[in-house]
Amino acid sequence: MLKLINDSIPDLLVRNISREVLMGVEEALIVGSQRAYADARGMNDGHLPSVVGQLRHFHMNESFHRALEAGGASPTPIRGNTIVTGRTGVFTLARFNIKEGLWNGGRRSQTRKQMSKANVAIEPLVQPELFADYVPPSDVVVFFVACFANTLAIQPEVPLSIQIAVPDRYMDGWLFREPIDEFIKRYDQKPMVTQDDLATPKLKKNIGSQDKDGTTQ
């Protein structure tokens, strides 16, 4: 018999990651990408896309690190090309950039693929298997993904969107994905409160009483 699970990945995210951390990360990634583009101005058009891409990596890593630090999310040190991660609740937080529509690009990093293996713990929330019991996880990973246009001719300064994305264990697909500005609205959604029915039925007086002769009134 399939066990019903009263949990979801969005609920898990909301419980473990504060609104302030999400808003800080969103702002930081926008600021980092703006600084990267500003620093790349004046470079030759022939290698401008490559320069912008590299500068985005470094500037956005630094701004991401500052946002995690400000939010109390324990960022790892910045070291070369090492992935910067943070920690809040059961979630490890990380980031990467992609070009619009190329979501498989995140799999190029062996470190990210290794990190994603932990998400086997939450796959039952969206891919329930027969006889598989869900155990609330103690370690899972979520990525903040900045999606840029495929060409610098379109909105080169900032991402087209920044998404909060939870991969499956192989990083072949996404258990959950949503733009941060949409996800933040979830913090304003109040849980449905069920009110107990306190009404108690009362019998009318004398219903079913009998006269002395045995007849029912």
Q: Domain ranges for the chain, please list them.
A: 9-188
Dist CA 196 CA 10 (whole Å):
27
| DSSP-derived 3-state class of residue 163 | strand
pLDDT digit string (tens) for the chain, length 217 residues: 455 567 899 999 999 999 999 999 999 999 999 999 999 998 998 999 999 999 999 999 999 999 999 999 999 999 988 999 999 999 999 999 999 888 877 777 899 999 999 999 999 998 766 456 788 899 999 999 999 999 999 999 999 999 999 999 999 999 999 999 999 999 998 654 434 444 444 444 454 444 444 444 4
Q: What is the pLDDT of residue 4?
A: 56
Q: How far is CA 96 from CA 90, 99, 127, in A?
A: 20, 10, 25
Q: What is the pLDDT of residue 108?
A: 79
Q: What is the pLDDT of residue 127?
A: 77
Contact 140, 124 (CB under 8 A): no
Q: What is the pLDDT of residue 208?
A: 46
Q: What is the pLDDT of residue 131?
A: 52
Closest CA to 5 of 93, 132, 111, 94: 132
